[in-house]
Amino acid sequence: MTGDKHPTSFPLRLSPSLRNAALRFAKQDNVSLNHFISMAVAEKVSRMEQAEWLKNRQRQVMERKPGSEFASQSLPLRK
């Protein structure tokens, strides 16, 4: 977020077929086209943020070295 207190509006160009499909699904969900598009963008941003977090987490795990502070946090193996 940019810290704005009010939503920002801007023109959005969609192909007629994409707009019609989005409008059809918005009507099925009983929401406005604006709300439908806002939710679609929010879902995409959420997936991309999750992928970024997972990538960073994987990098952190791969950089761990034996004897580091992370190694002592591992669970003991069952015998």
More confident: 28 or 3: 28
Question: So what's the pLDDT on residue 23?
Answer: 97
Question: So what's the pLDDT on residue 27?
Answer: 98
Instruction: Give the integer Cα–Cα distance in Å for 19 and 61.
Output: 43
Q: What is the 3-state secondary structure (H, E, C) of the chain?
A: CCCCCCCCCCCCCCCHHHHHHHHHHHHHCCCCHHHHHHHHHHHHHHHHHHHHHHHHHHHHHHHCCCCCCCHHHCCCCCC
Average pLDDT of the segment spanning 4-14: 82
Residues 6+ apart with CB under 8 A from 1: none
Tell me the pLDDT band of 7, cut-offs 50, 70 and 90: confident
Question: So what's the pLDDT on residue 30?
Answer: 98
pTM of the model: 0.63
Q: From 75, 74, 54, select the one nearest 66 (Cα to Cα).
A: 74
